[in-house]
Structures are given as structure tokens and as C-alpha cells.
Amino acid sequence: MSIFKRGTKWWYEFSYQGQRIRESAHTPSKTAAVAIERQRRRRLELSAGGVRQQRPQLFSVAAKQWLADDAHWSESTREIYKAKMGHITPVFGKLLLSDITPADIAGYQRQRQKAGASHRQINMECAIIRMVLRKHRLWHLLAPDYRPLREREEVGKALTSDEITGLLAAARRSRSQSLYPALVLLLNTGLRSSELRTLQWKQVELIEGEIVVGRSKTRGGEGRMVPLNQQALTAIREWRSGFKNPLPEHYVFCSERYGLDGEEGYKNGAVVVWNRNPEQPMGSWKVAWGACRSAAGLDCRLHDLRHTFVSRLAEGQTSDQTIMALAGHLSRKMMERYSHVRNEAKRLAVERLSAGIIQGDSPQNPPQSTIRISQRTM
């Protein structure tokens, strides 16, 4: 060990595994310089043994680095995480990672509940906190005391025939020209809205009447073939007729903007499409969908059209395997989450037992003759 002074500051110098280390201790105290030198040597020894030393870091800095480092996310996923950070950073941003406690996370859960956030939303935000801390090997200290909130398990809403008719009629009146064909396809193909937004013309076969799904939320959804029924085929052909020779790589529902027709357009409220870009996918139908839903008098989500598709298939006694192939589900449990008719079918089956009637209704087996169970007297 060698301690020497340069000007008003003490320096230290030593060799470690053949490497010469000469650094300033940044202190005018010799005693402090000796302690700093020993600590520096100890850190080198721990590092050589595989023990990493973490510097204190603010959550806001660590979160920003976490968002920038992961290369496996899509841009939409990254944007979702950035939006959720808007709720997390004001609470945890000025805390050191090492100072975050289970009580802090529980307090955040209560705060978000008071703000009206759903349990699902809060759990997703806490998952981001978990991923940031896990990256810095700190989550295991909090995990035993963390409890996610219980999420609601209801399965959404399947629209009735009258609701579908009213919804499509309202979509016809929408200023968004793409909304009506988009809703028709969602109702008749079961595609997720993200799958429909990124659909390209090369994935649509108008002669055979089918769509091949591209990138999907699940592995089971990618590359699946979905036939087009007559209603869907008519809608997409009508939509395609509005484009002049669309290229295969062009998006079916491309980016577009709407505005008033000319300088005098405000007088008669004429709305026209401008700046349509076939090389960019549609960003969102959020505004048009909200107006359409209100005009139809419905309280539902765009994703409920997928629920409706699966439920209508189940009502038609379509086999589970066929439904999963069309919808791109990976498990029977996920399929039943969308199939509203299944719960009613289970209830009817149990009611048959109380009525003394057993009837075979499996789609894989032919119906059996009705068997009446004779009442036994005790």
C-alpha cells in the first residue's frame, strides 16, 4: 500500500493481479485516504469473486434505462410502458431503488385505487416496478411481502343481433370511412384489433375468401388462416374498390386524416379524407369507435366484438378445436373465457339432471335418445 499527497489531496497506489491502480482519494485527510484505499481494494476482490457492487440509483433513472435497454419489445409495447410510467414516476421517481419497501408499493396500490384505477391496471403498473427492481437484483427482497390485487374475472360482453345491427348502422353514418368495414371484419373473423390494423393486402385472398394473420399477440395466432364469410367478403371488396391499384405491402386499413372540405367546409359540415398513407397502418379507431358506440346506445369495448364472434360460433355447436384454430387461442381455458354460451350450456346440462332427463349433446358424438330416469321409491 502506498499513500502520497499531491497538493491538498491524498492519493493511493497499489498493484492488483498485475494491474497498477493509482487514483485520487479526493480527501485532504490521510486517515480517510487509507480507508478509501482499503475499500477500493476490497471492491476489486469482490468483483473478481463474482460479487457485483450496485451503486445507489434513483428509480426514475433506472426506469428510463430499463425502457431503453430491452430490444425485444415492439414499439406499441414500449409506448404502453411509457404511458404507465406517467403514474409510477411521480411516486417512486425520487426514491433510491434500495430504499423502496413493500409498504411503499402497498401505499401506491391504495393511492391508485382511490384514483379509480382498476385492479388490472394497478397490477400491470406494479409489474413494471417489479421488472425494474428485478433488473437490479432487488426484487427478491420485496417479493415475499408483495400481494397483487384480485382482478375481476368476468368475461366481457357478447352483443345480441339487435345490438350488432344498431352498431353497424351507426358505423355506416360515421365520418370514418374505415370504421364500418373494420367492424364487419372484427365481428365475422374474430381478429384482434391489432391484427386488423396491421393487416396488409398480401395477407388477403379475395378469390379464395380468406385472411392469413400476420404478427399476433400469441404464437398460436400468428399465421392462422381465417375464412371470410359472405358479409366480410362483401365489406372488404367494397373497401378495396376505393383504392387505385393497392400494392401487396400496402396496409388494408392505412393511416388517414379527416378534415372539412375546403375553406367553406365549415358551413355545411362536409368532411373528407386527406393525407392517406398506405405505407403506414391505422393508428387507432378510438375516437370514431367512441362516437359510434354512443350513437348506437351501447356500453361495450371494441374487444367485445371478438367475444361476440367466439360466442356465436359456440352457439352454433362449433367444436372447441375449430374455435381455437379460428381465434388463435392457445388453451381451452382461454377459449372458455370468450365463449359466453358455455356457462349457459353447463347450467342447462345440470337442470336436465334435476328434471330427470339426460340427453347427449356432445358435438363429437351423435345425440342419444332421451332417457327418463324412473323415480325410485324408498
Q: Is residue 57 part of a domain?
A: no
Q: Is residue 130 part of a domain?
A: yes
CATH code, 287? 1.10.443.10
On whether both 133 and 166 belong to a single domain, the answer is no
Q: Which residue type does 135 have?
A: K
Domain boundary among 319, 338, 357: 338
Domain count, the chain: 3
Most distant pair of Cα atoms in the chain: their distance: 109
On whether both 105 and 30 belong to a single domain, the answer is no
On whether both 27 and 79 belong to a single domain, the answer is no
Q: Is residue 375 part of a domain?
A: no
Q: Is residue 239 part of a domain?
A: yes
Q: What is the DSSP secondary-structure string of 300-313? A: --TTHHHHHHHHHH
Q: Is residue 13 part of a domain?
A: yes
What pLDDT is attached to residue 343?
A: 61
SS3 at position 193: helix
Q: Which long-range contacts (CB under 8 A, 24 or more apart) does 91-96 make?
A: 92/59, 92/60, 92/129, 93/58, 93/59, 93/60, 93/63, 94/58, 94/59, 94/60, 95/58, 95/59, 96/56, 96/57, 96/58, 96/59
SS3 at position 227: strand
Q: Which pTM value belongs to this model?
A: 0.60
SS3 at position 331: coil
Name the residue with cell 334435476.
354
**pLDDT tens-place string over residues 66-98:** 988 876 777 767 888 888 999 999 999 999 998
**pLDDT tens-place string over residues 317-355:** 788 888 888 888 756 666 666 666 656 666 676 777 776
Q: Is residue 43 part of a domain?
A: yes
Tell how strand 254-260 and strand 225-227 pair up. unpaired
On whether both 175 and 110 belong to a single domain, the answer is no
What pLDDT is attached to residue 89?
A: 94
Domain boundary among 120, 145, 170: 145
What are the residue ranges in the chain where pLDDT is below 50?
Answer: 265, 267, 359-378
Q: Is residue 16 part of a domain?
A: yes
On whether both 140 and 104 belong to a single domain, the answer is yes
On whether both 78 and 114 belong to a single domain, the answer is yes
Task: Tell me the residue range of the domain where 7 lies.
Answer: 2-48
